[in-house]
Structure 1
Amino acid sequence: MDTLLFINGEWTGKDLEKIEVHNPANGELVGTVPKGGAKEAEAAIEAAHNAQADWAALPAAERATYLMKWHDLILEQTDEIADMLTREMGKPLKEASGEVAYSASFIKWFSEEARRSYGRIIPTPNADKRLHVIKQPVGVVASITPWNFPAAMIARKMAPALAAGCTFVGKPAELTPLTAFKLAELSVEAGIPKGVINLVTGDPKEIGETFTNSEKVRKLTFTGSTQVGKTLMKQSAEKMHTLSLELGGHAPMIVCEDADLDKAVKGVIGSKFRNAGQTCVCGNRIYVHASVLDSFLDKFTAEVNKLKVGNGLEEGVEIGPLINEGAYEKVDRHVQDAIKKGANVLTGGEGYTDQGGHYYKPTVLSNITDDMIIMQEETFGPVAPVQVIESDEDAIRKANNTRFGLAAYFFTENLTRGTRMAEALEYGIVGWNDGGPSAAEAPFGGMKESGLGREGGVEGLEAFLETKYISQLL
């Protein structure tokens, strides 16, 4: 699929240099997108700025109707979108279909929340005054999204922005841009007016600096690494842009002594190996109580051995390729460092290249120590390091001993223990016996260096609204 930039309702940029998009499973060319830069980003911002007032002036119910039409069209074309998503990103087709549904769920949720940007009237001590609070859209929103969830990450930002009455300029990742452009195509079919949604691809630095330097952009929302997030935050300070930053993670998973081990194994596999471990909320450090360590490892390793690796378009594949050679090298570096420092490989421990794709076997490591790189850095691959713990206090201390705070998980059947553990973990998202806590209805975001703000839930709409206080003297 070859596509163009989407600016002010028009497909443009046919004369620009092309960026090739390749299937990570086999290196095949999937399509191309234009390599835009500052000029194209400025045009997209201008289009969004010009559309802003009219879109914000629409009644919330009308914006909601547009969003629901868009939602329905996306679901109607789930198979086509999922196929494209798998070809450009590599995840198994079943997972890709799930991502399409997950993306659409945000559009549906925020189409409903559009009607609920409530203000309030404040009781006044002065009989001659009336105090009002209203909510208004923040304005033009610029977005930068990552490659690992080509549909979900941008939909999770576009949906609340549009619902709140904001217009949108997005930069999808150059590795996986095609799915986002398909969503934009369907937004036209849904009747969303010109300029409300704009998408550009190209030089990340140039486009990012154009976003952060623009006085017409009022909010920047970004999902990606903490390092890049800090850079964007610094650049945005000059214009005092509102920010939503969903950054890196290093998620712990704790299996307590009273855990239901079958439930724990299912939850850890669901979190750790989804998208071949290439998710910001996947379990990266697994802590298991000494009393159940052997039993857990036996059950866990047996299930991991059943996972099928291969091209995501093939029947029954559960682990697709890593996105590129660099990702593969990082995963292998983590594994080899752990082995060198005394880790035992219970399964996996190596990768391979097949028809140009870089695959890593689902790996379980035991005898893990804190000095291993894999316990200090986010791996972003299908590797599960398991470390023994002796107590809840030990688990909490190890889990919180990181500058990140995006997601954490624990498994216990004890209500008191679970309540205390959930409150003690310094993370924005906590899964209690649940390896897949993400939902459109719930706030998603991190603490510490894992970001600012929340996406999803009622909080997700608030992130795109300004609060205005009106004091009226009668």
Structure 2
Amino acid sequence: MTNSIKVTNPATGELIQEVKVNSEDEIKQALKNGHESFKSWSKINAHERSRLIDAWSQKIKENKEELAHIMTLENGKPLKEALGEVDYSASYLDWYAEEGKRVYGRTIPAHTESKRIIVTQQPVGLVAAITPWNFPGAMMARKAAPALAAGCTFIIKPAAETPLTAIKLIELAHEAGIPEHVIQYVNGSGKQIGELFTESEYVRKITFTGSTPVGKTLIQDSASTIKHVSMELGGHAPLIIAEDADLDFAAKQTIATKFRNAGQTCVCANRILVHESIVDAFTEKFVAEAEKLKVGNGLDSETDIGPIINEKGFDKIVSQINNAIEKGAQVLVGNKFDVDKEKGYFFIHPTVLKNVTAEMDIMHEETFGPVAPITSFKTIEEAVEIANSTPYGLAAYFFTNNYQTGTYLHENLDFGIVGWNDGAPSAAHAPFGGMKESGLGREGGLEGIEPYLETKYLSIGNL
């Protein structure tokens, strides 16, 4: 195993920084430190923990430009998106700095006069997090904020492609006064660190955002020590355009949800389903918007679409495009690439495919790229059947101004997050998570702190 991780800029292939790989002994020591620190951190009152989390948030806001620059360098996303992610990250700290003070217990009327029944909640212990490269700041903050607010200690293994954002965030947490061993990071092989996390007697909870196959492995490996698990896994989001939708609005919102971060998000619209009576009109407007998007280095203020994170991701996207074309899909715009494998950068121009059918890979596999497949449907019932025909259930979107159609879609789409005339539904104060093979648990909102708490029931007798 190498002693360092080479972090490169996916827009240029240039080396940004080498990050030390932690040894097995160092990782085990970090886990022990987190466990030992839990004894004191969990006893600090909620108001003091809130003050420290709020101070961390302020540090992040003060260093917003630097954090966004780091994020764009290692991730490739446009700087304007990175700035938005910094704000989004801080919003989780702001929310849970307050929510941690609202972890309430309750008393229950007893079944006999001589008893009192009391229910309290307490932190689960050391939390180990594994986060993805596509949102290196927000995915960490969404896990760390409720964990710390609940009284847990926290250790993260960030993605090898994007460790620098997490490192900077944790440095700022320490500057804000959060003790060194209360929030830590380790770097190295995902497989090795995942096994150390799941095997460790010190770790009481695993929280993971990433692919469904890796999530299943972590769940299985956590069974030996009966750890708590939260999983935010893969998605294959449908986006439904009903017959009565405002097409101009729907086209712009679909652009936003499809091409954010070059389509490299778990909640991107992956299947665009349009009523047959308006499919041509919608497609014309959507293509016109897609043609306006500028591809380039994320540090360029005019860039809308940055690079694909690596060659593996690029090859998967190109394979899906080729498979669709071979099976009859029509390219309306895109299918253009700016690639230099020797230097290590891969750009895909926004691509829109028409006449997409169920036999094509892109209708069954998460794309994670700037490719928009469009198909049509005859009835809302058919649209729901197509939308639900996947093992995933993370996010779904629909556009209609008819309350009956909207209510029907909301009730029948099997997805944890649904946007009605809204292509950007995520918010720190709302629960984020999926159904079926898209995960377990919720992050954000009042629901987001509960996975970091144990419930304790006290029965007092002989009164």
TM-score for both structures, normalised by structure 1: 0.96
Q: What is the match of residue 341 of structure 1? A: 327
> Residue in 1 aligned with 2:363?
375
Aligned pairs for 1:435-450 (under 5 A) are 435-450=423-438
1:387 matches 2:369: no
Per-residue CA deviation, residues 229-258 of structure 1 (Å, 9 max, x unaligned), is 000111000000000000000000000001
SS in 2 for 1:359: strand
Give the SS at the match of 1:188.
helix
Secondary structure in structure 1 of the residue aligned to 2:457: strand
Helix, strand or coil for the counterpart of 1:291? coil
After TM superposition, give the deviation of residue 315 of structure 1 in Å.
2.1
Partner Cα separation in structure 2 for residue 92 and residue 52 of structure 1: 38
- Counterpart CA distance in 1 for 2:398 and 2:453 is 34
| Match in the other structure for 1:132 | 118
Following the alignment from structure 2 to structure 1, what is the Cα–Cα distance between the partners of residues 344 and 190? Answer: 26
Alignment partner of 1:228 is 2:214: yes
CA drift at 1:262:
1.3
Aligned equivalents of 1:350, 1:332: Cα separation in 2: 10
Distance 2:55 2:18 in 1: 28
Q: Is the 8 A contact 1:37 1:206 kept in 2?
A: no
Q: Which amino acid aligns with 1:200?
A: V
Q: Percent identity?
A: 57
Deviations 1:344-381 (Å, cap 9, x if unpaired)? 10000131215642000100000010000000100100
Aligned 8 A contact 2:310 2:344 in 1: no
Partner Cα separation in structure 2 for residue 134 and residue 288 of structure 1: 50
| Shift in Å, 1:272 | 0.4
Cα distance in 2, alignment partners of residues 40 and 285 from structure 1: 44
Show the counterpart of 1:45: 31
- For residue 459 of structure 1, report the CA deviation from its aligned partner: 0.6
1:194 to partner: Cα distance: 2.5
Residue aligning to 1:202 = 188
CA-to-aligned-CA distance 1:38-95 (integer Å, 9 cap, x gap):
2222111111111001111011000000000000110111100000000000000000
**Which residue in the other structure is 1:238 paired with?**
224
1:93 aligns with 2:83: no
Structure 1 residue matching 2:229: 3-state secondary structure:
strand
Shift of 1:416: 1.3
- Superposed CA RMSD: 0.9
- 1: CA distance, partners of 2:141 / 2:337: 33
Q: Which amino acid aligns with 1:127?
A: E
Matches within 5 A, 1:168-317: 168-317=154-303
Distance of 1:289 and 1:70 partners within structure 2:
48
Question: What is the alpha-carbon distance in structure 2 between the residues aligned to residue 247 and residue 82 of structure 1?
Answer: 25
Counterpart of 2:304 in structure 1: which amino acid? Answer: E
Q: Taking structure 1 as reference, are residues 37 and 423 closer, same or farther at Cα in structure 2, changes over 3 Å only?
A: farther
Matches of 1:194 and 1:170, distance apart in 2 = 13
The equivalent of 2:440 in structure 1 is 452
C-alpha separation between the residues in 2 aligned to 1:37 and 1:466? 32
Equivalent residue letter for 2:414:
E
Alpha-carbon shift at residue 18 of structure 1 (Å): 1.4
Alignment of 1:52-67 (within 5 A): 52-67=38-53
Tell me which stretches of 4 or more aligned residues in structure 1 moved more than 6 Å: none
In structure 2, how many angstroms separate the alpha carbons of the residues matched to 1:256 and 1:45? 51
What residue is the counterpart of 1:121 in the other structure?
Answer: 107
Alpha-carbon distance between aligned partners in 1 of 2:121 and 2:289, rounded to the nearest angstrom = 50
Q: Pick from 412, 415, 430 the counterpart of residue 400 of structure 2.
A: 412
Correspondence for 1:107: 93
8 Å Cα contact 1:322-1:359 kept in structure 2: yes
Q: Which amino acid aligns with 1:22?
A: T
1:152 to 138, 148, 172: 138
Q: Which SS does the other structure have where 1:388 is aligned?
A: strand
Match of 2:422 among 429, 434, 437: 434
**Contact in 1 for aligned 2:393/2:415 (Cα 8 Å):** yes
Structure 2 unaligned regions, length at least 5: none
Equivalent residue letter for 1:244? S
Structure 1, unaligned runs of 5 or more: 1-15
Give the secondary structure class of the aligned counterpart of 2:97.
helix
Would you say the 8 A contact 2:311–2:344 is kept in 1? no
d(CA) in 1 for partners of 2:24 and 2:215? Answer: 20
